[in-house]
Structure 1
């Protein structure tokens, strides 16, 4: 499994399983178990997903040593104390530490929750801390006051949301970008350009989209609760997209290669 070395020295797998919208209980447990069986070693959940307990159960029952699994959860910014909420997450997950703890979105501004995130590191609750849905401007504002710098910014990213300006800003700050919704929750799987490239490479449209993000240097967390798709999404390390295919996919961007994490209309918080 290829990894990216984070600024805190830990190794982040470039491909993992996201469990957004996976139902707590059997659905999440099976998805995580299938992913781990297929070779995934990065599992991404969040307090807001309400399925941390199921993620933790599947990890424990997998028989895979905890140290071999990179586990991420996210602070729900409607709460008040990131450290206290991290302790609750650890209890639900049934683990002693997180590998990564993210602020899920910058509700209330990009800096107020960061001291509590740093306290989670100081308390040994997590190895690293980061952010999600932060724009380049919000990242810069946070960087001015942070004692511990974020290691990851998790954002919506695909050829159709090719946030090149944001990636450049993150890389300049030593922050690795992680792509969620790389398949556009399924809506990006059609279209003549993608179909042509998929056919030419002998791979599926989903594999092409994931491979594109991997070749951009990102970590990618596609979500699925179907075993065949979980296995399919992981099978992207036996081919490369050539320069022409990458350029054709780049051209699908609808954001103007923005440095924003979401459009103004796409923000679900006030």
Structure 2
């Protein structure tokens, strides 16, 4: 498993499983299977309402906790709650989180970041970072933080490669993690001739070619799935390498096409929305 060393020295796997839109039962089964086939990075969030299920899967697994890289995200309505991290730990059934992110730049995200810094200093969190922040809002955090964010989780895929943002992150020492790494399942992306051609060459599916491109481009990936075949396929990325020319061909697909836009109206809604996390199964 290829790993990346974060700016605080913590090693993080480059490929993992996401649990967005998975029910508790689906998340539990998917995470358990993923751990069995070799995954070591798991991504969840307060708002996914499946943290308890993820915790159960980790306990059922034969994999030791210290060998699992567990990542979750604080929701905006919890940013000012002093016990938000402790409640997250309780739901996950663990005494530490490997990576904790601010989920959205909504509400009092400065307070949320302070909360994560405190948890980091107390040893409850091994690394902290941001999700869905743009360059301007990342700079806000960098101006006030005591502990630098280690990771930015954001939308990134061949149709929106975020080259300018990645250059900025490189200068700050932050790693980038891709959600929607397959373009939200866009059939047009998966059917791009370059992915079909390279799939034949390497005897891989187009999705595997895309995920391999991410890895070689330095993007941590967390594709989500409840299908055991897809979970297996999404992890078989380390037995082939794309050439520099092939990487350049994929780079030419960049259209700056996003599937998710963080509008002011949406951020206001997030700041007011209270997910029923305590009601998780």
- Could you state the TM-score of these two structures normalised by the residue count of structure 2? 0.89
* TM-superposed deviation, 1:127: 1.1
Change (3 A) 1:267 1:252: farther
Change (3 A) 1:244 1:265: farther
* TM-superposed deviation, 1:181: 1.1
* TM-superposed deviation, 1:250: 1.1
Tell whether the 8 Å contact from 1:73 to 1:98 is kept in structure 2 after alignment: yes
* TM-superposed deviation, 1:214: 0.2
Tell whether the 8 Å contact from 1:101 to 1:129 is kept in structure 2 after alignment: yes
Q: SS at the partner of 1:106?
A: coil
Query: Structure 1 regions of 5+ residues with no counterpart?
Result: none
Q: Tell me the distance in 2 between the aligned counterparts of 1:267 and 1:35.
A: 36
Tell whether the 8 Å contact from 1:159 to 1:250 is kept in structure 2 after alignment: yes
Matched, 1:60 2:40: no
* TM-superposed deviation, 1:110: 5.3
Please report the RMSD computed on the Cα atoms of aligned residues, expressed in angstroms: 2.0
Q: SS at the partner of 1:113?
A: helix
Q: Tell me the distance in 2 between the aligned counterparts of 1:218 and 1:266.
A: 27
Q: Tell me the distance in 2 between the aligned counterparts of 1:112 and 1:239.
A: 44
Change (3 A) 1:202 1:268: farther
Q: SS at the partner of 2:149?
A: coil
Partner of 1:223: 224
Counterpart mapping for 1:99-110 below 5 A: 99-108=98-107
Q: Tell me the distance in 2 between the aligned counterparts of 1:267 and 1:178.
A: 25
Q: SS at the partner of 2:90?
A: helix
Partner of 1:133: 132
Change (3 A) 1:82 1:44: farther
- Could you state the TM-score of these two structures normalised by the residue count of structure 1? 0.93
Query: Structure 2 regions of 5+ residues with no counterpart?
Result: 269-281
* TM-superposed deviation, 1:137: 1.8
Tell whether the 8 Å contact from 2:24 to 2:50 is kept in structure 1 after alignment: yes
Partner of 1:118: 117
* TM-superposed deviation, 1:33: 0.9
* TM-superposed deviation, 1:264: 5.6
Q: Tell me the distance in 1 between the aligned counterparts of 2:200 and 2:142.
A: 44
Count the aligned residue pairs: 266
* TM-superposed deviation, 1:171: 1.4
Tell whether the 8 Å contact from 1:135 to 1:261 is kept in structure 2 after alignment: no
Partner of 2:14: 14
Give the counterpart of 2:266 among 258, 265, 268. 268
Cα deviation 1:75-106 (Å, max 9, x = unaligned): 00122336521111111111000001000111
Partner of 1:90: 89
Deviation larger for 105-114 or 225-234 = 105-114
Q: SS at the partner of 1:153?
A: strand
* TM-superposed deviation, 1:42: 0.4
